[in-house]
Amino acid sequence: MAVEPPTPPNCHFIPMAPTKRFSGKSVIITGSSNGIGRATAVLFAKQGAQVTITGRDEERLEAAKKQILKLTSKPNDLNVVVANLTDSKGLDDIVNSTLTKFGKIDILINNAGANISDGTLNTDQSIELYQKTFQINFQAVVEMIKKTKEHLIKTKGEIVNVSSIAGNEQTFSATPYYCAAKSALNQYTRCIALDLIQYGVRVNSVSPGVVVTGFLGAMGLPDEVRDKMANFMASNKACIPAGFCAKPNDIAEIILFLSDRKKSSYIVGQSIVADGGTSLVTGMTAFDMHEMI
Ligand code: NDP
Q: If we measure between CA atoms, which residue out of 96, 93, 69, 72 comes closest to residue 82?
A: 93
Please, are residues 171 and 179 in contact by the beta-carbon 8 Å criterion? yes
pTM (2 decimals)? 0.94
Mean pLDDT by 10 residues, the chain (293 residues): 58 71 98 98 97 98 97 91 97 98 98 95 95 98 98 98 96 94 98 98 98 95 94 95 98 98 98 97 83 84
Which pLDDT score is estimated for 289?
81
What are the pocket residues of ligand 1 if the criterion is a CB atom closer than 6 Å to any ligand atom? 31-37, 55-57, 60, 84-86, 111-114, 136, 162, 164, 208, 210-211, 213-215, 218
Which pLDDT score is estimated for 283?
83
Distance, in Å, from the CA atom of 255 to the CA atom of 244, rounded to the nearest integer, reads: 20
Rg (CA), the chain: 22
Distance, in Å, from the CA atom of 80 to the CA atom of 73, rounded to the nearest integer, reads: 16
Which of ligand 1's atoms lies nearest the C-alpha of 37? 25
Residue nearest to atom 34 of ligand 1 (CA): 113
Question: Is residue 10 left, alpha or beta, with left meaning phi > 0 and alpha meaning psi from -120 to 50?
Answer: beta
Please, are residues 220 and 117 in contact by the beta-carbon 8 Å criterion? yes
The ipTM assigned to this model is 0.99
Q: Which residue among 28, 29, 111, 251 has the greatest number of ligand 1 atoms within 8 angstroms of its CB, and so is best to mutate?
A: 111
Distance, in Å, from the CA atom of 198 to the CA atom of 183, rounded to the nearest integer, reads: 24
Which of ligand 1's atoms lies nearest the C-alpha of 218? 2
Question: Is residue 122 left, alpha or beta, with left meaning phi > 0 and alpha meaning psi from -120 to 50?
Answer: left
Distance, in Å, from the CA atom of 274 to the CA atom of 263, rounded to the nearest integer, reads: 18
Q: Residue 292 Cα, ligand 1 centroid: separation in angstroms?
A: 40
Distance, in Å, from the CA atom of 55 to the CA atom of 81, rounded to the nearest integer, reads: 7
Which pLDDT score is estimated for 14?
67
Which pLDDT score is estimated for 72?
81
